Amino acid sequence: MTNIDRLIGLRNEIPPEVQIVAVSKFKATSEIQNLHEGAGQRIFGENRAQELATKAAQLPKSIEWHFIGHLQSNKVKTVVQVASMIQSVDSYRLLLEINKEASKAGKVQDCLLQIYIAKEESKFGFSEEELAQILNDNAFHNLQHIRIRGLMGMATFTDNWQLVASEFGFLRKQFEQLKNGIYSHCESFGILSMGMTDDYRIAIDEGSNMVRIGSGIFGAR
Ligand SMILES: *Cc1c(COP(=O)(O)O)cnc(C)c1O
């Protein structure tokens, strides 16, 4: 099976309204180019700022890059220059930095708020309380160079699929609350990014409309 075969298999399986982010971290630019030109894959995900910048410089501008890794303040400028979306916004401080760099770059940066849903210390994201706090803060809504497009989350790394489903269900509930509440007049708010190679089926059952697939396309890392 080639990468293209695996991607096409996924597309045939996944409902058409669910977008696929091809997670290309550690993969060569030639493999990305091949999927982009050979199968029309448009969205690719990277989790390291420098790797993203290097690849973006070498590959066609028609690719949309999503940044999906934990982002440090000193790397924000690099990412803002090339990312169409930052999926992994996990603190208010980071939002302020993104707003500042996007302003300098003369763009409005599309972002997802990453929500902490796993039972794992190692994962990042806003807690329910932190999310409520920033949503109640006028300063947050006045960031002129940030556009919040939706939410992202990562479930616990486990084969306890009931736990995974309940974590995704929890994220979906928060998403629906925002979509029908504070963002109800916001056409652009509508992305729920959840699900990876091992759990995308569960994520889609729980309402995901964007999956981030690495090894399921490129083979094991
Ligand atoms: C690596 C990564 C993925 C893809 O993981 P696979 O298990 O290879 O599909 C998805 N999301 C994030 C945030 C990642 O870092």
Confidence bin at 161 (pLDDT 50/70/90): very high
Those residues with Cβ within 8 angstroms of residue 122's Cβ, 6 or more apart along the chain or in another chain: none
| Tokens representing residue 155 in the block | 């479930």
Q: Tell me, what's the pLDDT at 14?
A: 98
Residue 25 alpha carbon, nearest atom of ligand 1: 1
**Whether the predicted pLDDT of 212 surpasses 90:** yes
Using CA atoms, how far apart are residues 22 and 8, in angstroms rounded to an integer?
12
Q: Tell me, what's the pLDDT at 60?
A: 98
Confidence bin at 123 (pLDDT 50/70/90): confident
More confident position, 123 or 190: 190
**How confident is the prediction for the chain on average, in pLDDT?**
97
| Residue 57 CB neighbour total at 10 angstroms | 10
Q: Cβ distance 203 to 14 under 8 Å?
A: no
Distance 184 CA to ligand 1 centre (A): 30
For 29, 172, 181, the CA distances from 114, given in Å and listed in that order, are 27, 12, 18
Amino acid letter for position 215? S
Name the nearest CA neighbour of 154 among 195, 122, 119, 121. Answer: 195
Confidence bin at 122 (pLDDT 50/70/90): confident
- Phi/psi of residue 129, each to 5°? -70, -45
Distance 118 CA to ligand 1 centre (A): 15
pLDDT tens, 28-44? 999 999 999 999 999 99
Using CA atoms, how far apart are residues 63 and 41, in angstroms rounded to an integer?
8
Could you tell me if the CB of 214 is within 6 A of ligand 1?
yes
Name the nearest CA neighbour of 87 among 219, 210, 198, 214. Answer: 210
Ligand 1, atom 7, residue with closest C-alpha: 197
Q: Tell me, what's the pLDDT at 74?
A: 97
Distance 87 CA to ligand 1 centre (A): 12
Name the nearest CA neighbour of 85 among 16, 141, 9, 152. Answer: 152
